Amino acid sequence: MKMLTIDDSAVVRRIIAAAVVVLGHECLEAESAQDGLKLLEDSEKIELIFLDWNMPGMNGLEFLKTIKKDDQFKHIPVVMVTTENMPESIIEAVKAGVSQYITKPFSIEELMKKIIESLGGEVNQ
Amino acid sequence: MIAENENTKYQVIPGQVFVAALLETVERMSGFVLTEVKNDSESEPDHEIIGAMVLQGEKAMLLCLETNQQSAAPLVSFMTGIETAALDAELLNDGITELINMVGGSARAHLEASNYKFLLSVPFTLVGQSIKILVKKRTDSFMARLVCDQIDLSLRVYQL
């Protein structure tokens, strides 16, 4: 499967990409929401998106709302990976259509568990 | 008793909240368990990377994580799984800045429970040889030094 991580931190993108690869999948990286939208349009069949909230330019929530309005992309599950840990933020993200929510800091085990859950338990397929 | 919606005004910087947030962040992201060093400021190494962010609330604070490349390398290596030799300065700087971003977010959640609310700025990085942040002498500040093997981190909080 092909996945996409959008985060302005290169370190966070590398952590997520490493976990995705360990689980047998491919991971594309974008350092901004705008770049993420371009990759979505240009790449074939991205099946899971990891999304930071606080980024320069378009933020993660705006990105989420944008793709959930688009028939081409609204079915793609989105995992928010963010330092936004207040309950009101989590509720706002869930209302906007996020599938899973990971607050930073996170362990690699938590991340991999969320990936597996997001895929309905399906790995290495 | 604290009235609803009234921010707590800390008379001193709640430094241990930030220390606890840093300990948790580093352990979860890298597996390293840091230990706080007491009264050892004379042997503090020169700093080459400072990750920082402003906490804007009833009182503004500047939150800083200061270290050098030798300390940052194993931390970022264990976070990302990338060999230390393959890490460039950009990744090291980004790793330290992301850590302070997580510390700020984690501390905010803990402090909100005591009704102390603040907004977090975008994190930023200062880099160079033997760099330090100077503030006015009467500014309240908090400092903690945390170590694990070759990792040596200084956490500083300044009330602005």
Q: How far is CA A78 from each of CA A54, A65, B57, B98, rounded to the nearest angstrom?
A: 15, 11, 32, 21
Render pLDDT for B28-83 as a digit per residue (tens, 0 to 9): 999 999 999 986 655 778 899 999 999 998 888 999 999 999 999 999 999 999 99
The predicted structure's pLDDT at residue B1: 39
CB-based contact, B125 to chain A, within 8 Å: no
Residue of B nearest to A109 (CA): B28
What is the distance in angstroms between the Cα of B137 and the nearest Cα belonging to chain A? 32
Q: Which of A10, A56, A105 sits opposite B29 (nearest CB)?
A: A105
The answer to whether residue B12 scores a pLDDT higher than 80 is no
Q: What whole-number distance in Å separates Cα of residue A38 and Cα of residue B105?
A: 29
- A contacts of B109 (beta carbons < 8 Å): 85-86
Domains, in order of start, for chain B:
12-159 (3.40.1550.10)
The answer to whether residue B101 scores a pLDDT higher than 80 is yes
The predicted structure's pLDDT at residue A124: 46
Helices marked H in chain B: 15-30, 69-80, 89-112
Query: What is the DSSP secondary structure assignment for residue B84, as one 8-state letter?
Result: G
The answer to whether residue A57 scores a pLDDT higher than 50 is yes
A107: left (phi over 0), alpha (psi -120 to 50) or beta: beta
The answer to whether residue A69 scores a pLDDT higher than 90 is yes
Indicate the residue type of B126.
L
Q: What is the dihedral of CA B125, A102, A83, A7, to 10 degrees?
A: 40
Chain A residues touching chain B at CB-CB below 8 Å? 9-12, 14-15, 18, 54, 56, 83-86, 103-107
Indicate the residue type of B107.
A
State the CB neighbour count (10 A cutoff) for residue A124: 7
What is the distance in angstroms between the Cα of B129 and the nearest Cα belonging to chain A? 23
- B contacts of A10 (beta carbons < 8 Å): 90-91, 94
Pairing label, strands B124-127, B61-67:
unpaired
Give me the half-sphere count of Cα atoms (radius 13 Å) on the Cβ side of residue A58: 19
What is the distance in angstroms between the Cα of A67 and the nearest Cα belonging to chain B? 25
The answer to whether residue B111 scores a pLDDT higher than 50 is yes
State the CB neighbour count (10 A cutoff) for residue B81: 14
Q: What whole-number distance in Å separates Cα of residue A95 and Cα of residue A44?
A: 27
State the CB neighbour count (10 A cutoff) for residue B115: 13
Question: Do residues A51 and A80 make contact, with C-beta atoms less than 8 angstroms apart?
Answer: yes
The answer to whether residue B2 scores a pLDDT higher than 60 is no
The answer to whether residue A123 scores a pLDDT higher than 60 is no
CB-based contact, B101 to chain A, within 8 Å: yes
Residue of A nearest to B78 (CA): A15
CB-based contact, B91 to chain A, within 8 Å: yes
Q: What whole-number distance in Å separates Cα of residue A51 and Cα of residue A32?
A: 10
Query: What is the DSSP secondary structure assignment for residue B137, as one 8-state letter?
Result: T
The answer to whether residue B150 scores a pLDDT higher than 80 is yes
Pairing label, strands B124-127, B49-57:
antiparallel
Residue, of B109 and B126, whose pLDDT is higher: B126
- A contacts of B102 (beta carbons < 8 Å): 83, 104-105
* ipTM score of complex: 0.89
Question: Do residues A27 and A3 make contact, with C-beta atoms less than 8 angstroms apart?
Answer: yes
Sign of CA dihedral A67, A52, A44, A46: negative
The predicted structure's pLDDT at residue B121: 93
Query: What is the DSSP secondary structure assignment for residue B75, as one 8-state letter?
Result: H
- In terms of Cα–Cα distance, which of B152, B148, B61, B64 is closest to B101? B64
Domains, in order of start, for chain A:
2-118 (3.40.50.2300)
Mean pLDDT of A89-97: 96
The pLDDT confidence band at residue A97, using thresholds 50, 70 and 90, is very high
Q: To the nearest whole number, what is the mean pLDDT of chain B?
A: 88
What is the distance in angstroms between the Cα of B138 and the nearest Cα belonging to chain A? 32
Query: What is the DSSP secondary structure assignment for residue B100, as one 8-state letter?
Result: H
Least confident of A71-80, B5-14, B88-97: B5-14
Residue of B nearest to A22 (CA): B81
Question: Do residues B34 and B124 make contact, with C-beta atoms less than 8 angstroms apart?
Answer: no
Question: Do residues B154 and B47 make contact, with C-beta atoms less than 8 angstroms apart?
Answer: yes
Render pLDDT for B126-148 as a digit per residue (tens, 0 to 9): 999 999 888 877 778 899 999 99
The pLDDT confidence band at residue B4, using thresholds 50, 70 and 90, is very low
